[in-house]
Amino acid sequence: MIRHVEVRAGTYHDSVTLMQVSQAVRGEDGVGGALVAMATQLNLDLLGGMGFDVPAASPNDLVVGVTADDDAALGRALARMESALAARPSGDDGGGFGATAPPRTVGSAARRDGGTVAFVSTPGRYAFADAMDALQHGLHVVVFSDNVPVEQEVRLKQEARERGLLVMGPDCGTAVIGGVGFGFANVVRPGPVGVVAASGTGAQQLLGLVDGAGVGISHCIGVGGRDLSAAVGGASTLAALDLLADDDATEVVVVVSKPPAPEVAEAVRERAEKLGKPVVLALLGPGLPDLTAVAETVVTTAGAEWRAPRSWPSTAPATGPYPYIRGLYAGGTLCDEAMLLVSAEFGPVRSNIPLEPSWTLGPGLWAEGHAMIDFGDDELTRGRPHPMIDNSLRTERLLAEARDPSCGVVLLDVVLGHGAHPDPAAELAPAIVRARNVAGARGRDLAVVVALIGTADDPQGLESQARALRDAGASVHLSNATAARGAIALVNRGADD
């Protein structure tokens, strides 16, 4: 086996491109593993976890790690990498005599092309300037970018309020405005339900469950995961409520958020009571309804009959025991919801986004007992694609959990929709099979429970994704809360055996 590592100083490529390049290199015959990424600390740690000697490099450098069977395989891998890095999308580049130069700023694009909404997806350190440019030219703005300082978020939302505009974000993962999706957006039917979401995957769970019950969506306004924090004060949530109050297509409103600051939650409740339309609150917290229960309330409030979300039982027998649950999540709100349910049953759940300050993970994101990781957290997405696009970190951790005798159940979310991985089951199903085989070789049964978030019309194919994951040995649920309760039941069953 040959291990090749190199650093290319000052060479930059965006994280989505590098994810695709890494996948292309891994697909070459004779290649055992490959990482082509910017040399952030997270990526260097991942390189070390793959068995490479970690080189000295800065986040502005490109690092390459390839394991190959022989020199010929390594040569093919490096040639494939060079070809993929050099590739550029084809099409008209706007050149030639008389061609119109593309706009170089948001403001110049607004002046030339019109429009009402700007979508900002630049690196976090640049997003503030682009978003402010949009506001100053009269545009509502979706800030998909993460890693934007909270003080910049506050300033943007102050500017928006003064101009009668709306800032959706930063870290606005999901929005659907009049049927047009922004970011990670599910395909939903039009209808009477308006969603205000300080949560991307929380919104997607509600969209999937409400659409699955036959009820449509007027708008889903994402406001960013920090909007209901004490620092931001619910600025965009309150503005979005006012917009939906004036929207004739919206008859029922639902507000979904990660656990909010108590004083901000109270301000939202007060505004909701005066809105003039039914408002259902999905503000996650101890003792409060889970997202599936909220979806049922929304559907019945809209005058429709609730349809319980589907499940696909595992094809593998459960032989137990199942000591602890380990959650490997792409969605922070889904991770929060699962932690709330598991901690209510078993006590502390360690996490990188802990429900309690003392419930933190140790070095390397490890802890004894029940633990859950939000792989979509800002700290884990610097210089990397979001885990809804790139499953490599989660598949690596899944195999690590398979080798840990204290891990009995792995809880995963798989989120579908535009912008997400085109076929997540193609990556995750083989990893689930391999992880279960690794555990089985050590005399253990590793149960895998999947929360599949999406709609029947999403491009990945909800039914085919569910079947592929089930056939790999996972139990699959369209409700994250049901998935978490299934994991709890497995632990309790193992304790009773």
Per-residue model confidence as pLDDT tens digits over 53-73: 999 998 889 999 999 999 999
Name the one residue in this structure whose structure tokens are 């620092």.
231
Name the one residue in this structure whose structure tokens are 């029940």.
370
Residue 113 has pLDDT above 90, yes or no: no
Residue 465 has pLDDT above 80, yes or no: yes
Tokens of 228: 């209901």
Residue 267 has pLDDT above 80, yes or no: yes
- In this prediction, residues 461-485 reach a mean pLDDT of 98
Q: What separation in angstroms does the CA of 258 have from each of 107, 109, 315, 354, 377?
A: 33, 35, 33, 12, 13
pLDDT for position 100:
62
Tokens of 100: 């119109």
Residues above pLDDT 90, as percent of the chain: 74
Which regions of the chain carry the CATH code 3.40.50.261? 106-301, 311-496
| Cis-peptide, bond into residue 385, ω within 30° of zero | no
Residue 88 has pLDDT above 80, yes or no: no
| Mean pLDDT for the chain overall | 91
Can you tell me the distance from the alpha carbon of 206 to that of 252, in angstroms, rounded to the nearest whole number?
Answer: 13
Residue 193 has pLDDT above 90, yes or no: yes
Residue 470 has pLDDT above 90, yes or no: yes
Q: CB under 8 Å to 308, separation ≥6 — which residues? A: none
The fourth-level CATH superfamily of domain 311-496 is Succinyl-CoA synthetase domains (3.40.50.261)
pLDDT for position 480:
98
Can you tell me the distance from the alpha carbon of 452 to that of 477, in angstroms, rounded to the nearest whole number?
Answer: 6
Q: Which fold has domain 106-301?
A: Rossmann fold (3.40.50)
Can you tell me the distance from the alpha carbon of 99 to that of 109, in angstroms, rounded to the nearest whole number?
Answer: 16
What phi-psi label fits residue 224: left (phi over 0), alpha (psi between -120 and 50 degrees) or beta? Answer: left
Residue type, 14: D
Domain 2-86: give its CATH architecture: 2-Layer Sandwich (3.30)
CB 218 within 8 A of CB 249: yes
Q: CB under 8 Å to 418, separation ≥6 — which residues? A: 181, 184, 185, 186, 187, 458, 459
Q: How far is the first Cα of the chain from the last one, in angstroms, to the nearest whole number?
A: 44
* DSSP string computed for 187-211: ---EEEEEEEEE-HHHHHHHHHHHH
pLDDT for position 96:
44
* DSSP string computed for 150-171: HHHHHHHHHHHHHHT--EE-SS
Note the pTM of the prediction, 2 decimals: 0.82
Residue 488 has pLDDT above 70, yes or no: yes
Query: Tens digit of pLDDT for each residue in 10-50?
Result: 888 877 688 778 888 988 899 988 889 888 887 888 788 77
What confidence tier does 179 reach under pLDDT thresholds 50, 70, 90? confident
Residue 92 has pLDDT above 50, yes or no: no
Query: Tens digit of pLDDT for each residue in 270-290?
Result: 999 999 999 999 999 999 999
What ranges in 347-416 are assigned the alpha helix state H?
Answer: 378-381, 392-402
CB 376 within 8 A of CB 386: yes
